[in-house]
Amino acid sequence: MPTIRIPSSHGAYRVYCSRGALARAGVVIKELGDSSGTFVLSSPNVWKHWGRALAKRIRGVRANRTFLFDDSESAKNLATVELLCRALSDAGADRRAVIVAAGGGVVGDVAGFVAASYLRGVRLVQIPTTLVAQVDSSVGGKTGVNLPEGKNLVGAFYPPKAVIADSEMLATLPHRQYRSGLYEIIKYGVIADAQLFRFLERHMLALLRRDPSALARVIPRCMRIKARVVARDERESGLREILNFGHTVGHALEAATGYRRFLHGEAIGWGMYAVTLLGLATGRVSESDAIRIIRLVASVGPLPPLGGIPVAKLRRIVAGDKKARGGEVRWVLPRGIGKVQRGVELPWKLVARTILELPDIDAKARG
């Protein structure tokens, strides 16, 4: 089974990444060593599909308890964290407990933050069940929850002890959720891996069908890229910025529509169009490479429309984005396939003009 070793400031951890990897869950947890109990944190929705399989895999693990919580974005908050910490305390979880986060990015972020804060930190195993979680949120160690003031404003860097990413678990994912993860996969191709990009160009239809062999090629590759970037910049002081390719406009679109119109990946799809046009307008990327990026994004399927979102609102959000440094927004722009430049400052006029062009570009790419 392909495993990926990820170094981190809290010690290296392994990612078990293949079809059927869930079968190893019990062994992986046992291999963590001396534990007083295993506490699975998941959601009713994920549990409905995968609870039986997961429970079976960890049957032999000591003192097993399961707590289910709502994994909608609106429940990704401190109240849920408190509820889970109290449940752990009532169940007698001590410092030698192991927390298993089984679910998508919301479960991973919430349960990860619980693991980081309960008794100042207990061991964490991530079992990501969405494509986004398998290629992105389960590695890298970012955990946290939202405040009414904004997304992910309270959290901790807290790497897991192991990650078990089983692509079979994606079979039950609603199609729109699944597609949303494909945009993040395209992102990895553009920022770091021309070969992955070419593979995506050739095999997007197979990926859209969730073809196991196409997934087996792509998921570990994305995890490796993320692992490499994060290993060199765990706390997001520099290189890690490239993972935000397409995210400046993407985050603004999500926030401007109250996180209701777009799934995260869909907003990133629009965001990748935007930075590609910006790369073209500023002479960083060739027209032929820009066309390839735009075509690949379009090939994932239709994006929710941009209509009714004032550009001025996007500007206010982008300017207030926590990623803005010293008042300047730092853009990540393509320089080719597999190459980006980070820390680019741009005049808002150019950005605004580009955003207004997006619906047209999308229509042309599909036409």
Residues that bind ligand NAD (CB under 6 A): 43, 45-46, 49, 71, 73, 76, 103-107, 109, 129-130, 132-133, 136-137, 140, 142, 152, 169, 172-173, 177, 264
CB of 329 to ligand NAD, least distance (A): 20
What's the min distance (Å) between Cβ of 129 and ligand NAD? 4
142 assigned to active site: yes
The verdict on whether 224 is a catalytic residue reads no
The catalytically annotated residue of 24, 57, 123, 142 is 142
- Residue 292 annotated as catalytic: no
| Residue closer to ligand NAD (CB basis): 88 or 106 | 106
Active site annotation includes 247: yes
Is 235 an active-site residue? no
**Distance (Å, whole) CA 11 – CA 6:** 9
| Annotated active-site residue in 226, 241, 254, 266 | 226
Instruction: Establish whether 287 is a catalytic residue.
Output: no
Task: Please choose, from the candidates 220, 346, 362, 190, the residue with its C-alpha nearest in 3D space to the C-alpha of residue 283.
Answer: 346
Q: In this complex, which beta carbon is closest to ligand NAD, that of residue 8 or of residue 354?
A: 8
Catalytic residue among 161, 179, 187, 240: 240
Residue 175 among the catalytic residues: no
Asked if 77 is an active-site residue, the reply is no
From the candidates 123, 146, 161, 184, give the one annotated as an active-site residue: 184
- Selection from 113, 137, 212, 233 nearest residue 170 by Cα: 212
Minimum separation from the CB atom of position 103 to ligand NAD (A):
5
Residue nearest to ligand NAD (CB): 105
Contact call for residues 162 and 198 (beta carbons, < 8 A): no
Minimum CB distance to ligand NAD, residue 307 (Å): 24
Q: Is the dihedral of CA 204, 207, 212, 216 positive or negative?
A: positive
With H, G, I as helix, E, B as strand and everything else as coil, classify residue 167: helix
Judged by beta carbon, residue 240 or residue 292, the one nearer ligand NAD is 240
**How near is the Cβ of 360 to ligand NAD at its closest, in Å?**
28
- Only one residue has tokens 């992105």, namely 136
Q: DSSP letter at 18?
A: S
**Active-site residue, selected from the candidate residues 264, 266, 284, 292:** 264
| Residue 203 annotated to the active site | no
Are the beta carbons of 151 and 321 closer than 8 angstroms?
A: no
- Structural tokens at position 140: 């890298």
Q: Nearest approach, Cβ of 116 to ligand NAD (angstroms)? A: 12
Q: Which of 179, 187, 221, 247 is catalytic?
A: 247
Residue 264 annotated to the active site: yes
Which DSSP helix (H) or strand (E) runs through 309? none
Q: Which residues contact 164 (CB under 8 A, 6 or more apart)?
A: 15, 16, 21, 22, 24, 25, 28, 125, 126, 127
Q: Using an 8 Å Cβ cutoff, are 121 and 93 in contact?
A: no
Closer to ligand NAD by CB, 37 or 128: give it. 128
Q: Which is nearer to ligand NAD, 256 or 346 (CB)?
A: 256
The rounded distance, in Å, linking the Cα atoms of 342 and 314 is: 20
Give the distance from CA 40 to its chain's centroid. 21
The DSSP string of 82-118 is HHHHHHHHHTT--TTEEEEEEESHHHHHHHHHHHHHG
Q: Which residues are catalytic?
A: 120, 142, 184, 226, 236, 240, 244, 247, 251, 264
